[in-house]
Amino acid sequence: MIEDRNKVFSDLVIDSVRLLILISKFDYKKTFKLTLDKIMLYDFYLQFPNTMFKNNKDVEIGNIDFFEYYSYYHWKPRDDQYLMALNYLISKQLILRKIENNKFYYLVSELGVEFVNDLTSEYKLKLDRIATIVKQKISKLSDETVENQILEKIKFGIRYEG
């Protein structure tokens, strides 16, 4: 039982750090809001960069050796896991949840910026590089286009090229 709780806590921390790095790349703009849906879409790129950017000549991700062998058989993420990580970040005052036009969106706080800037691990640097690419290239696409790209990449047959 304790091992299960430790795994859940470990996953929560890893997910939270990854989401914090992603959210830290986006500033408040009247025309763009980082909603839960966008976070879930963009996070897929952070979790599976080799899959998502494979054979993309416009994107140079470098030598990123993430463990992409774990399952993404189903693309639809679990909202509850994302909300748990986002609520954890809010409780630590690392991000802010705002509402505009009846939609929630997320912003990094000053404390969150400081926290991300203080991280120095190789993992953080890799995530930071991918999050920058997501902001520069992927966030300009419609949510529908991004989801279609994900669905195209995770076709079961493509995953096992031999």
CATH hierarchy code of domain 2-159: 1.10.10
Q: Name the E strands within 15-116.
A: 95-100, 103-108
pLDDT for the residue 59: 65
| Of the candidates 48, 4, 21, the residue with the CA atom closest to the CA atom of residue 135 | 21
Q: Return the minimum-mean-pLDDT range out of 42-51, 59-68, 104-113.
A: 59-68
| Of the candidates 22, 150, 146, 138, the residue with the CA atom closest to the CA atom of residue 85 | 22
Name beta bridge partners: 32: 29
pLDDT for the residue 79: 85
**Helix or strand or coil: residue 103?**
strand
DSSP-derived letter for residue 70 is S
Residue 128 reports pLDDT greater than 90: yes
The domain segmentation of the chain, as residue ranges, is: 2-159
**Mean pLDDT of all residues belonging to the chain:** 84
Residue 76 reports pLDDT greater than 90: no
